[in-house]
Amino acid sequence: MMIVLSYIFSAIYWVYFGLLLLIFHVIQVVCNLIGGYKLRKKSVDVLNFLLIYGLGINGARIRFVGFDNLPKDCPLIIASNHQSTFDIPPIVWAFRKHHPKFVSKKELGKGIPSISYNLRHGGSALIDRKNGRQSMLEIAKLGRHIEKEKYSASIFPEGTRTKDGSVRKFQHPGIAALVKTAPSAKIVPLVIDGNSELIKYGNYPLKFGTKITFKALEAIDPTGRDLKEVTAEIEAMIKKELGK
């Protein structure tokens, strides 16, 4: 019965998802033209709220934990495990007061309504994963941006998604590049739990009735610390929360 529900309601959600991206692409462009960054960002926040809670169509239950205790008046580096593309909207929404930017592969910067436009115009770092130098330069540029504006940068230290919910070894260079160019930043470990279960059968059907939790752990001050050790600590904290 659950698989039947998954097929039926996933189809409805994907139609809803596609319409949102098309409609909000136009809204973003208009907002950018008449109100610049601030107005466009408000439209992006609304879009991502609708994308997250729209998963309720498919019976998903969404929970955010720990976001009342986020550091204020400093840049944030959001370091999380990575389970699926569904990881992105909750980060945009939950950290909206901190203006989250992303370290994303350059391929996502074109061809996807709303998403590509936001990546190109929102200050994110679009990296070529085959070009280490370009990647580090883009990440460093992002670090300087969040340091200046007291914004946040989201990075997935595993480097890629792990669809089965496992957590791969966290790599430290990206975090190190952000810390170097945003020296006043605090690192917020973020635990994503449930998105791998949501895509258990792939992108279609999405599993009906999935429980999905996003938990912000206590922030870490990396000042003066060995960043390899900090990265390993973040990995261990997230694995512990996931029971890995």
Q: What are phi and psi of 95, to 5 degrees?
A: -105, 20
Residue 176 has a CB neighbour count (10 Å cut-off) of 20
Q: What's the Cα-to-Cα distance from 204 to each of 83, 102, 172, 180, rounded to whole Å?
A: 16, 26, 34, 41
Which helix (H) or strand (E) segment is 25 a member of?
Answer: helix 2-53
Enter the tokens of residue 103: 């370290």
Question: What's the whole-model pTM score?
Answer: 0.94
Residue pair 121/39 in contact (Cβ under 8 Å)? The answer is no
Check: CB of residue 89 under 8 Å from CB of residue 48. yes
CB within 8 Å of 103: residues ≥ 6 apart: 124, 125, 127, 138, 139, 142, 153, 154, 155, 156, 174
Side-chain half-sphere CA neighbours of 189 within 13 A? 22
Determine the pLDDT at residue 183. Answer: 97
- Taking the chain (244 residues) in runs of 10, the rounded mean pLDDT of each run is 93 98 98 97 98 98 96 96 96 97 90 95 90 90 97 94 88 95 98 96 96 98 97 98 91
CATH assignment of 2-242, among 3.40.50, 3.30.1330, 1.20.1530, 3.40.1130? 3.40.1130
Amino acid at the residue 69: N
Determine the pLDDT at residue 163.
76
Residue whose structure tokens are 């670090």:
143
State the number of CA atoms in the 13 A half-sphere of 143 facing the CB. Answer: 22
Least Cα distance to 172 among 92, 105, 232 occurs for: 232
